[in-house]
Amino acid sequence: MKVLPTNRLFSIIQILRNARFPVKAQQLADKFEVSVRTIYRDIAELQNQLVPIQGEAGVGYILKPGYEMPPLMLTANELEAVALGAHWVSQRGDKYLSQSANSLLEKIKDVVPEHLQSVILDTNLVSANYAQAVEDSINMDDVREAIRQQSKLFIAYKDVKENISHRIIWPIMVAYFDSVRLVVAWCESRQDFRHFRTDRINKVEVLDESYPKPRQTLKLEWQKKQNITLPSTRSNLI
């Protein structure tokens, strides 16, 4: 994967930030299709810039904990990825996420270098949506906050036959599709995982009670039951 030298330096920092173990120069050289000697020079250059990289040739390199990269050192491709994702969310996210996506684009536009602002202002990538999105019956901010805090929810849910049921659920994620949104949760009354359409949830109340299992554990159990593998947000560059 050939990259520009400046981009390679940023990528090396990112790889070291996410690595659990020391990363050898040969691994980096293979990743970027350059010589080991080039990687040694890159490491020396980063150290000269006061990036706290520790290690030595033949052993591997680590990044001292606590180092933060300067904000928004993004390439044009990375900006296009952000813009495309944000445009999709602004069209297909719930009301509050849509507003946040537009706010994100404005903030990025204000801080990226001038020569890259056109990537945000005049993007040549479009997210095409043909299905009519449904309107949520509840405040999705409450649901997402409950997920972050691992709090139980009390909901009133209307099924396809218009029957109303009251349930206590343990929400673990929200799935966004072109036309609908689903809350994935453990349902106490059904003692199983269930998927609740947000446009059929008539009422939601965040309870002052945490669910007894870590959300990540529940998420893995749901994935196993559904035979689904979700993409990891952890970098797998090395």
Whether the pLDDT of residue 2 is over 60: the answer is no
Whether residue 59 is found in the same domain as residue 80: no
Whether residue 83 is found in the same domain as residue 155: no
Hey, which bits of 47-191 come out as E strands? 53-56, 60-63, 151-158, 164-176, 181-187
pLDDT of amino acid 71: 59
Q: Alpha-carbon torsion 135, 136, 139, 142, what sign?
A: negative
Whether the pLDDT of residue 3 is over 70: the answer is no
Of 92, 116, 105, 117, give the one whose Cα is nearest residue 178. 92
Whether residue 51 is found in the same domain as residue 82: no
pLDDT of amino acid 195: 96
Whether the pLDDT of residue 223 is over 80: the answer is yes
pLDDT of amino acid 167: 97
How far apart CA 119 and CA 80 sit, in angstroms, is 6
Whether the pLDDT of residue 9 is over 60: the answer is yes
Per-residue pLDDT tens digits for 70-110: 656 677 888 888 888 888 888 888 888 888 888 888 888 77
pLDDT of amino acid 236: 45
How far apart CA 149 and CA 168 sit, in angstroms, is 16
Looking at the structure of the chain, the number of domains it has is 3
How far apart CA 123 and CA 79 sit, in angstroms, is 9
Whether residue 151 is found in the same domain as residue 203: yes
Of 155, 165, 156, 164, give the one whose Cα is nearest residue 207. 155
Query: Residue 134 domain-assigned?
Result: no
- Domain span at residue 171? 140-226
Q: Which long-range contacts (CB under 8 A, 24 or more apart) does 33-36 make?
A: 33/1, 33/2, 34/8
Query: Residue 132 domain-assigned?
Result: no
How far apart CA 181 and CA 175 sit, in angstroms, is 6
Query: Residue 222 domain-assigned?
Result: yes
Of 211, 223, 218, give the one whose Cα is nearest residue 169. 211
Bigger pLDDT: 53 vs 65:
53
